[in-house]
Structure formats: C-alpha cells, structure tokens
C-alpha cells in the first residue's frame, strides 16, 4: 500500500470515528435550544442598574417635599435582599404594568428613549405616592424613573 493510500485510509477511519461519536452524543443527550432554557431569574435577588436612568425627565408636580436619597437607599437595600418571586408575591405593591395602559406622555417618552419595544415596565411602591419605575431584564432592574408624585401611572384612590 502506498503512502497516499495509507493516508486516505486513516482519514476515512478518522471520519468514521467522528461520525460514530457524534451519533452516540446525540442519542445520549437531547439538546435544548437556548430559547427554551429555564429562566431562573425568579429565584435570584434583585440587582439594580442605573444605565437607563432618565435624568432628563422630572415627573414631579411642583411640590418640594420628596423622599430623600437615604430613604430611597433604604428601599433599594431592602429590595436587594428579596428574590423576584418574593416581590411578585406582593403584587399589590410592586408589579409590572403593560405599556399599553400608560399615559400617552409616558409612551412618548419611551419612544424618545428608544424603549418603545418594551411590553411592560415595573412599578415599585416606595411610599404612598413615591414610585420607582424600571425594566426587568432577567434578575436586573434597569431603573428608568423616580416618580415622587405618582405621575407616570396615576390611579384614583380607593374608597374615594
């Protein structure tokens, strides 16, 4: 057998072994597409990110009595110790709101920020009027707005 024939034979054997290994791997484990992997963000604690924070929009109505940074920091610390599933269980306080339900001014601001492809934004209840708004990406909350006067999504008071 010539060298050329020997090389060709080894190449064919190598290809046959690779095919056999590939076939064995496929039969042993079923591949799961990335899009179908289980999202475990609900079991992780909240992390805050201010990369999207919109400091150009002020949602205040003119009053000057607002929660201070230290008080807001206390809320951030408290939420950072909770998992998303714990936060969702308190749905009357902190919850997502469909962007279709928002005021037109808010929707327009999302368009200006090129965030109009978002389906929902989250509202965090810090006090009777103060809200923090953001977009949930996995277990990270991308903070958008500080809303001290509840202007992003005003609701009528209960029993009034």
Structural domain including 15 reads 3-31
27 lies in the same domain as 96: no
Q: Are residues 97 and 122 in the same domain?
A: yes
pLDDT tens-digit series, residues 90-108: 878 899 999 999 999 999 9
Instruction: Give me the pLDDT at residue 73, please.
Output: 82
CA dihedral sign, ordered 64, 54, 113, 148: negative
Is residue 136 in a domain? yes
Residues 53 and 98 in one domain: yes
Evaluate whether 153 touches 97 at the Cβ level (below 8 Å): yes
Work out how many domains the chain is built from and give that number: 2
pLDDT of residue 26: 57
Question: Largest alpha-carbon pair distance within the chain?
Answer: 98
Res 15: pLDDT:
77
Bridge-based pairing state of the strands 47-49 and 95-98: unpaired
- Contacts of 82-86 with C-beta under 8 Å, sequence gap 24+, read 82/45, 82/46, 83/42, 83/43, 83/44, 83/45, 83/46, 84/41, 84/42, 84/43, 84/44, 84/46, 84/136, 84/139, 85/42, 85/43
What is the reported pLDDT for 37? 47
Say yes or no: 110 and 49 in one domain: yes
SS3 47: strand
Can you say whether residue 145 is alpha, beta or left, with left for phi > 0 and alpha for psi between -120 and 50 degrees?
Answer: beta
Any domain includes 156? no
**Structural domain includes residue 158:** no
* Residue matched to tokens 């050329």: 4
153: Cα separation from own chain's centroid: 20
Same domain, 111 and 141: yes
Q: How many CB atoms lie within 10 A of CB 47?
A: 13
Same domain, 81 and 117: yes
- Looking at residue 39, what is its pLDDT? 63
Instruction: Please indicate, yes or no, whether residues 45 and 26 belong to a single structural domain of this protein.
Output: no
Residues 45 and 115 in one domain: yes
Cβ atoms of 144 and 121 within 8 Å: the answer is yes
Average pLDDT for runs of 10 along the chain of length 160: 82 79 60 53 90 80 60 85 90 88 93 92 88 92 90 76
């Amino acid at each position: 057998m010539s060298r050329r024939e020997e090389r060709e034979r080894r190449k064919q054997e190598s290809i046959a072994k690779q095919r056999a290994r590939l076939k064995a791997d496929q039969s042993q484990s079923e591949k799961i597409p990335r899009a179908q992997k289980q999202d475990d963000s609900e079991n992780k604690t909240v992390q805050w990110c201010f990369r999207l924070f919109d400091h150009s929009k002020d949602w205040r109505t003119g009053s000057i009595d607002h929660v201070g940074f230290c008080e807001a920091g206390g809320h951030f610390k408290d939420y950072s110790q909770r998992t998303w599933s714990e936060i969702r269980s308190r749905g009357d306080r902190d919850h997502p709101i469909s962007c279709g339900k928002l005021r037109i001014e808010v929707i327009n601001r999302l368009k200006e920020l090129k965030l109009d492809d978002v389906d929902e934004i989250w509202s965090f209840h810090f006090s009777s009027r103060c809200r923090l708004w953001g977009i949930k990406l996995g277990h990270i909350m991308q903070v958008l707005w500080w809303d001290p006067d509840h202007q992003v999504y005003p609701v009528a008071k209960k029993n009034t």
